[in-house]
Amino acid sequence: MVQGNHLTNVRDGILKSIPPEARVTKIEFEGPEIAVYVKNPSVLLSGGDVVRMVAKSLRKRIVLRPDPEVRKDKEEAKKIVYELVPPEAGITNIYFDDVMGEMFVEAKKPGIVIGKNGMLLKQLLVHTLWRPIPVRTPPLKSKFIESVSALLHKNSNYRFKMLREVGKRIHRPLLYKIDNLRLVALGGFKEVGRSALLLEVGEDKILLDCGVKPSSKDYTSEFPSFWIDDFDIDSLTAVVITHAHLDHCGALPLLFKFGYRGPVYCSEPTKMLMALILKDYLDVADKEGRTPIYSLRDVKTALLHTISLNHGEVTDIAPGVKLTLHNAGHILGSSMVHLHIGEGLHNIVYTGDFKYGRTRLLEPASYVFPRLETLIMESTYGAPGDVMPSREDCEAKLIDIINRTLERGGKVLIPVLAVGRAQEIMLVLANAVEKKLIPSVPIYIEGMIQESTAIHTAYPESLAREVRDKIFYEDVNPFLAENFVTLTKGHARLDIVEGEPCIILATSGMLNAGPALEYFKLMAEDERNSLIFVAYQVEGTLGRAIQEGAREVVVEYVNGRPVTVKVKMEIHTCEGFSGHSDRRQLLRFVERVTPKPHRIILCHGESEKTSSLALSIHRYFKLPVETPEHLEVVKIR
């Protein structure tokens, strides 16, 4: 029997290191964290940070919670906050969570609420005896963010109980030493879509990503292969989601429909974006008259079980398994997954989708890890032809097309994905207007883009340094540039199409539905206009047909009869805005990743692309590379 870090050991360790004057009343597991309740927190926070030192020596995440008995009256606590926090912080709201004993201080500049080295936050805790949580007031008001926060808030009791259960499981003693490690390819191997890989680590099973393949014809290829013997929902310990794209998280609510009630780990922005796209997935199904396999209730249950982690934060997710998320540079909140297994037995990095290159929106993916033996990486653009033009050339081309179109009195339509590409293009356009590279015309935004942008503005610390600096130090938010005009449902699209020169950004990215399709119908027959594709057009979509030269296309069916439109507008494609690494970036990542892995496993790519990349990696870097088939089991140790 192996001694784990179970509660008595941990409790003894904490009690030994904490001065008795702090008056500890309770020590409890709370998900991956350990909550220490004290009556007199000031002892721990004056002078050196005792809690941080204890956490470091026990290698556990510890949160300090004032005992419920000593908490100040809420009105009094609010008064203290207003007294201690300088007015420049711009506090917009203070609210409380009675179950968790937390006080949320919503401010325009949460950095000021935190104070230098977290000093002000400590003072707030000592004086109010609530645990203060600084929250950024979203610069763009979003009903969506509000309703997700309200859902979590309302179910605080449920979450509290869930976290205690999860905590017990994480910190339980292990019956056997971890000595086996297997990967089961449930989806997203030699294909793009339904990413799901199951890791069996001793007694625990951890699912990395849980996606759908939206273009599939039937359920068996739309969802990961959950029906095989190796997959048993009751033995699933944890789910980790790398990012909020449907092919990585679209099947998550299905697990909850099947009865999973364990934790889902991801970054905070991923949690919000995931809520947005899962809800949209259901709305679209509804509009198209399809019955989705899960309901909004399952989406909500999934959200209630989501535990968000910051990048770089080391967290226990099972006995002997430590998870750390690192920036993946793909979309807001996207993460690479680092797993440290069995006290140094093995280290895995699963990249998810990643961009090892600069974009306007995000910093490039991380490539330095504390330890690494097995690298599981995506291979979407793994073929020799998958080399994209440089960002500079790509932006120059976009700007040139826009200028020529506007000069001849035309308008520009750019179909975009609501999450990621839309914001990248917004930043490119905001910069072009600011530098006077294009005329200052209205840039209309329609579709889910606005909600998604609001989520981006709520997490500026996750954006590229240049954008962050603009927001923090220059007080300029490029997403709020005055040229951007958000359109709501019900406005007259015809007025826009027949009005002054303008640029229109609308969903969906492949013209198969949404406002982009409506604009296309109105704009297609005017040769002065331009349509610019900035995202990959999947086979079988209207976008792909137009991109490949179709000049008369069916745009809808009325009473079963096709309605066609003549395509007279100019059609352009600007490659290079992708959130994925191209082939050169994939190879450069393998070259630079530190430390050098012992083996590489490739996923997330069409069969030929995966094989082609495998060959090159093997040739250039002399590393063993595997390309598992769907449902293949790979023994890692």
Instruction: Say how far apart CA 537 and CA 139 lie, in whole Å.
Output: 33
**Minimum Å distance from CB 352 to Zn ion?**
7
| Least distance to Zn ion, CB of residue 339, Å | 20
**Residue 543 CB, nearest distance to Zn ion (Å)?**
18
- Least distance in Å: CB of 278 to Zn ion? 14
Nearer to Zn ion, 245 or 493 (CB): 245
Least gap, CB of 17 to Zn ion (angstroms)? 43
CB of 330 to Zn ion, least distance (A): 6
Bridge partners of residue 486, in order along the sequence? 445
578: preceding bond cis by omega (within 30 degrees): no
Could you tell me which residues come within 8 angstroms of residue 15 by beta carbon, excluding any fewer than 6 positions away?
24, 27
Nearest to 605 by CA among 379, 377, 354: 379
Look at the alpha carbons of 604, 608, 611, 615 in this order and tell me if their dihedral is positive or negative. negative
Whether 362 contacts 464, CB under 8 Å: yes
Q: Which has the closest alpha carbon to 319: 168, 166, 173?
A: 173
Q: Closer to Zn ion by CB, 30 or 353: give it.
A: 353
- Grouping H, G, I as helix, E, B as strand and the rest as coil, residue 618 is helix
Q: Which is nearer to Zn ion, 225 or 578 (CB)?
A: 578
**Burial bucket for residue 117 (CB in 10 Å: 0-12, 13-18, 19+):** exposed
CB of 105 to Zn ion, least distance (A): 34
In the bound state with Zn ion, the residue whose beta carbon lies nearer, of 132 and 357, is 357
Of 97 and 353, nearer to Zn ion (C-beta) is 353
Give the Cα separation of 260 and 246 in Å (integer). Answer: 19
User: Toward Zn ion, which CB reaches closer, 245 or 322?
Assistant: 245
Q: CB of 282: closest distance to Zn ion in angstroms? A: 19
Rounded to the nearest whole angstrom, what is the least distance from the CB of residue 353 to Zn ion in the complex?
Answer: 4
Dihedral of alpha carbons 314, 317, 322, 324, sign: negative
The pair of structure tokens assigned to 32 is: 């991956």
Do residues 62 and 30 make contact, with C-beta atoms less than 8 angstroms apart?
Answer: no
Residues lying near Zn ion in the complex (CB under 5 A) = 245, 353
Comparison of 122 and 604: residue with beta carbon closer to Zn ion: 604
Query: Partners of 50 in the beta sheet?
Result: none
Looking at residue 90, what DSSP letter applies? -
* Nearer Cβ to Zn ion (121/602): 602
- Shortest Cβ 271–Zn ion spacing (Å): 16
CA atoms within 13 A on the CB side of 67: 13
Q: Show the beta-strand stretches assigned E in 172-224.
A: 181-187, 196-201, 204-208
Residues 594 and 178 sit within 8 Å (Cβ to Cβ): no
CB of 562 to Zn ion, least distance (A): 33
The Cα diameter of the chain in Å comes to 80
The conformation of residue 382, written as its DSSP 8-state character, comes to: -
Q: 336 is written with which tokens?
A: 């690479």
Q: Would you give the DSSP letter of residue 171? A: T
Burial readout 29-53 (b: 16 or more C-beta within 10 A, e: otherwise)? bbbbbbbbbbebbebbbeeebbbee
CB of 248 to Zn ion, least distance (A): 6
Least Å distance, CB 280 to Zn ion, is 15
Q: How many helices (H) and strands (E) does the chain have?
A: 22, 28
In the complex with Zn ion, the residue whose CB is nearer, 298 or 353, is: 353
* Least spacing, CB of residue 243 vs Zn ion, in Å: 6
Element (H, E) at 424: helix 421-434
Neighbours of 374 (CB within 10 A): 22
Mode of pairing for the β-strands spanning 374-378 and 346-350: parallel
Shortest CB 249 distance to Zn ion, Å:
10
Residue 463 parent element (H or E) = none
Phi, psi angles (nearest 5°) of residue 410: -95, 175
* Cβ proximity to Zn ion, 354 vs 519, nearer residue: 354
Indicate the residue among 332 and 406 with the shorter CB distance to Zn ion: 332
Partners of 308 in the β-ladder: 266
Measured in degrees and rounded to the nearest 5, phi and psi for residue 552 equal -145, 115
Closer by beta carbon to Zn ion, 419 or else 601: 419
For the record, the structure tokens of 509 come out as 């990215």
Q: Which of residues 245 and 271 has its CB atom nearest to Zn ion in the complex?
A: 245
- Our CB check for Zn ion shows the closer of 328 and 401 to be 328
Q: Is 263 exposed, middle or buried (0-12, 13-18, 19+ CB in 10 A)?
A: buried
Cβ closest to Zn ion, residue 250 vs residue 543: 250
